[in-house]
Amino acid sequence: MNDVAMPIGQLARSVGCKVQTIRYYEQIGLLPPAARTAGAQRRYGEAHRQKLSFIRHARELGFPLPAIRELLALAHEQDSDCARADGIARRQLEAVNRRVAMLMSLRSELERMLKHDHGNRIRDCRVIATLADHGLCIEAHHADGADS
């Protein structure tokens, strides 16, 4: 792809994201502002596409926006030590491991709720009883972050 200026829709399609996402990333300073035509339409180049692709991939890996901002800054320091980037990735891996453990706990609890023989009446339904009384859960900590 050459560095021909492209409209926002073309940029969005080229990296598989939404136009609103590109505008948001510009608004918060993750993407530099686009050049504007005389008619005020945004025009993006290859540098925008590469940076947006970087951001999108980082988001797919679950990196939060502040970490992505830091990684983007590090990407411009070609001769710097990689330890900072490794540290950011290590923190993300730890966060993923915590979420995996939480999901495994949730799966176990749901399986336990469903295994209980409850007959055919709601009054005897283990699912309803467990949801109504958190104390019936084996692992009460699974509620942490459940609304996140």
List, for residues 111-143, the tens digit of each pLDDT value.
Answer: 888 887 666 777 777 777 778 877 766 665 554
Tell me which residue has tokens 């859960």.
137
CA–CA dist 33, 140 (Å, integer): 47
Q: Encoding tokens for residue 141?
A: 């900590």
How far is residue 89's CA from residue 4's CA, in Å, rounded to a whole number?
A: 33
Q: Specify the pLDDT at position 145.
A: 47
Task: Compute the distance between CA of residue 29 and CA of residue 2 in angstroms, rounded to an integer.
Answer: 24
pLDDT tens for each residue of 63-72: 999 999 999 9
pTM reported for the whole predicted model: 0.75
pLDDT in tens, 14-61: 999 999 999 999 999 999 999 888 888 889 999 999 999 999 999 999
Answer yes or no: are the C-beta atoms of 5 and 45 closer than 8 Å: yes
Instruction: Domain 8-63: state its class.
Output: mainly alpha
Q: Of 60, 51, 138, whose CA–CA distance to 96 is shortest? A: 60
